[in-house]
Structure 1
Amino acid sequence: MSRLPRIGITPDINDTASPETEYVLRKNYADAVQNAGGLAFILAYSDQVEKYLDAIDGLVITGGMFDIDPVLYGQVAKKPYEMKPIRTDFERALIHGALAREMPILGICNGMQLLAVCLGGQLVQDIPTEICQALEHKPMQSATVAQHAVQFLGTSRHLPDLNGQTFSVNSVHHQSVLPSTQYKALARAPDGVLEALEAREGGFAIGVQWHPEYGVAEIDTVIFDNFLAKAREFSQKEL
């Protein structure tokens, strides 16, 4: 009998200066993985990245209320940002290692942004001040509510044909990914903000700017189901 694919999920972290600092992960990340047929494993930050990658079949880089250091994508910070270097360094190492193995990767929100940076892309540091007539991408309302539409462009190497289809998704971000030849744009919001991307070569490496773990949009299940299907294939190669 084939085993369930093991999916590593990166948690956030509270104040690292506190003696009681905690890892934090919303339950719906693990629920989405398990509902799609995987086993969820929370990855504590460590320098043993290769050993983690030996133990899992797919990687989810989660979102978080912080920003990636602009130095990592060749820019100068335009204003003070809250950054979490310990988390970003760990996730960067995981992404680079998973890309080298062609292990399936799903980057969500900040995780999509970091995937783009690891692939060689750059970011819009602040949507409201840098994109004219932008939609509200970080609303006050709950992420359980759809905020704006995204339209899929062209075809993906790893998802069903969604070309031209539009979905209403939730949204919780003030930064976004700039276009690049290093990855393919899969979906955009009506204001042009890039909402999904895919690595141009290698295994499943897809980022989405919204939060599919909430299951707000029909496309959310499609994304997790296809990610887990690729992780299942990857696990069989490793046997």
Structure 2
Amino acid sequence: MSECRVGKAIAAVAGLARGAKPSRREARREAIMQAATQLFVEKGYGATSLNDVVRLSGGSLSTLYDMFGNKAGLFQAIVTHRCEMMTGLFDHPDVHSRPVGEALTEHGTRLLSVLVADDTVAAMRTVIAEALQFPELAQVFYESGPIQGRQRVAGYLAEQMRRGVLRTDDPVEAAADFCHLVIRDAQMNAIMGLPYPDTAAAITRQVGHAVEQFLRMYRADGAAQPAANLPGTAA
């Protein structure tokens, strides 16, 4: 069995994250989620028990139940946490005052870095393999991952439309367009073992191109053009 390098997605965005040192409870929660991710990948969702998770992560079963409720709740928390890693940019009060291209580039970099990280790809393979036996697994993943993520992007884009930076349009559709431009076939290729942007430079190029194309589609007429080329775009 190949090694599941748990934590690679977190490392991928560590340089972008802005936050306080986690509390002891938050650190315990993170340890449980990392252990569960590893076990879900190695053994499968159905074959993993909460006792397995506790043995790997340490702590107690009562703490796990208190934090997550049950195994489905633990899986949902893992997916939601990954989504928050990708969309945490939008929690900052100054996000709407930043140049839209700069903010979208940071979000796109977070998004693509997490989606092609080894542990995310391995978890996706698990979801695909067990979706028929555990349909709730796929439903939880879809609602707590892609849907939640696009809603966060749509909220940001709606405010930029209100400010006249982007042309008025359906922000939900615009968010879907942006995510598709960033991801393209990268995650599917990673899942299937085909070539994908697996270096920081490759991710920067793909995200830069996506942001450039998105702004061509949605920038409002008369809105200020960026003072410099976005990362990854041609001069």
Query: Is the TM-score greater than 0.5?
Result: no
Give the strand-richer structure, 1 or 2: 1
User: TM-score, normalised on structure 1?
Assistant: 0.26
Larger Rg: 2
TM-score (norm 2): 0.26
